[in-house]
Amino acid sequence: MEIHSGIPIFKGTYSDAASREKTEMLARELIPWRKGPFQLEDLYIDAEWRSDKKWNRLKKDLPPFQGKLVADVGCNNGYYLFPIAHEGAKKVHGFDPTFKYMLQYELVRSHAPKLPIEFTCEGWEALYRYPQTFDVIFLMGLNYHAPNPLEIFHACKNSLKAGGLFVCEGVVVNTQANLEIFPRGKYAGIGGVYAIPSPTMLSMQLASVGFKKIHQQHLVKMETAEQRSTIFSPQPSLANFLNEDGSSTEGYPPLYRAAYFATKEE
Ligand SMILES: C[S@@+](CC[C@H](N)C(=O)[O-])C[C@H]1O[C@@H](n2cnc3c(N)ncnc32)[C@H](O)[C@@H]1O
């Protein structure tokens, strides 16, 4: 496996035409691919999300992973597990309770079975079995889907070693105010949302859980080049849920995403 500009590339050649066809058939059966892209030999799985863009935003400020134990909580099909393993992590553990995403992961993983990756088909609740275990925990795209994000932040903190790094990324309302909004129904087509915090609110939530050295690593407006319909994810996407002024078709503010880095005290 190689990583080119954040994209996992699995090289080699299929032993025969039948296995090439089988991989493509399985990939199509597992539609929609929300996170990607993946290059599986000559098969390019273009997902709804250009997850490489988020990885490239984060990567420049991440510490070296050599010899580290890393977790990605809510890892979807494990997209980020591959660049993290490639960076030399001793082990990277992905948690996601959605069985279909685990099957996507298994299909990709079958192209590089020796990587130090473990995928557990369970949610963040499983973290309580891993006290003070990880050097780095990623929690991305999950807090605003949860009725009680602080409980998840506590679980992550409990699973970090002292001095460990917490990377918390998600949708935010781009205002200086300390607030959160509670969309009724969907927000820019995203279902299952509870509270969308402002950056200040998210930062204060992390502080209230006891994280230290909290700082905003990036804040970006979501572009349709990063989230769009593709052959492997054909359902409506961001462009279908934005008005011309950038507000969402449900009447909510433009969609921004922020990443916060925070540390568990030594
Ligand atoms: C918006 S996606 C974010 C995926 C990925 N972390 C990213 O940033 O691209 C939310 C993910 O959380 C997963 N999920 C749902 N409930 C969860 C839970 N209780 N614990 C952990 N993950 C969960 C979903 O299956 C989905 O893959």
Confidence (pLDDT) at 174: 97
Q: What are phi and psi of 167, to 5 degrees?
A: -110, 110
Pocket test for ligand 1, best of 52, 54, 76, 104 (most atoms within 8 A of CB): 76
In which domain, by residue range, is 214 found?
2-263
| Ligand 1 atom with least separation from CA of 95 | 21
| Host H or E run for residue 181 | strand 180-181
Q: What is the pLDDT of residues 16-56, one digit of tens each?
A: 777 888 999 999 999 999 999 999 998 999 999 999 999 99
Query: 12 CA distance to ligand 1 centroid (A)?
Result: 31
Confidence of residue 185 (pLDDT cuts 50, 70, 90): very high
Confidence (pLDDT) at 17: 73
Confidence (pLDDT) at 65: 98
- Tell me if 101 CB under 6 Å of ligand 1: yes
Confidence (pLDDT) at 16: 74
How many Å from the N-terminal Cα to the C-terminal Cα in the chain? 35
Could you give the percent of the chain with pLDDT greater than 70?
99
Confidence (pLDDT) at 226: 98
Whose CA is closest to 54, among 237, 188, 226? 226
Pocket test for ligand 1, best of 77, 145, 154, 172 (most atoms within 8 A of CB): 145
Report the distance separating Cα 155 and Cα 139, nearest Å: 11
Q: Which residue's CA lies nearest to atom 20 of ligand 1?
A: 123
Q: What is the pLDDT of residues 55-92, one digit of tens each?
A: 999 999 999 999 999 999 999 999 999 999 999 999 99
Confidence (pLDDT) at 118: 98
- Tell me if 230 CB under 6 Å of ligand 1: no
In this predicted structure, the answer to whether residue 14 has a pLDDT above a threshold of 80 is no
- Domains: count for the chain: 1
Q: What is the pLDDT of residues 140-155, one digit of tens each?
A: 999 999 999 999 999 9
In contact, 2 and 83? CB cutoff 8 Å: no
- Tell me if 51 CB under 6 Å of ligand 1: yes
Query: 183 CA distance to ligand 1 centroid (A)?
Result: 19
| Host H or E run for residue 4 | strand 2-4
In this predicted structure, the answer to whether residue 15 has a pLDDT above a threshold of 90 is no
Q: What is the pLDDT of residues 90-142, one digit of tens each?
A: 999 999 999 999 999 999 999 998 999 999 999 999 999 999 999 999 999 99
In this predicted structure, the answer to whether residue 12 has a pLDDT above a threshold of 80 is no
| Ligand 1 atom with least separation from CA of 152 | 20
In contact, 77 and 105? CB cutoff 8 Å: yes
| Ligand 1 atom with least separation from CA of 35 | 9
CATH code for position 107: 3.40.50.150
- Tell me if 98 CB under 6 Å of ligand 1: yes
Query: 15 CA distance to ligand 1 centroid (A)?
Result: 34
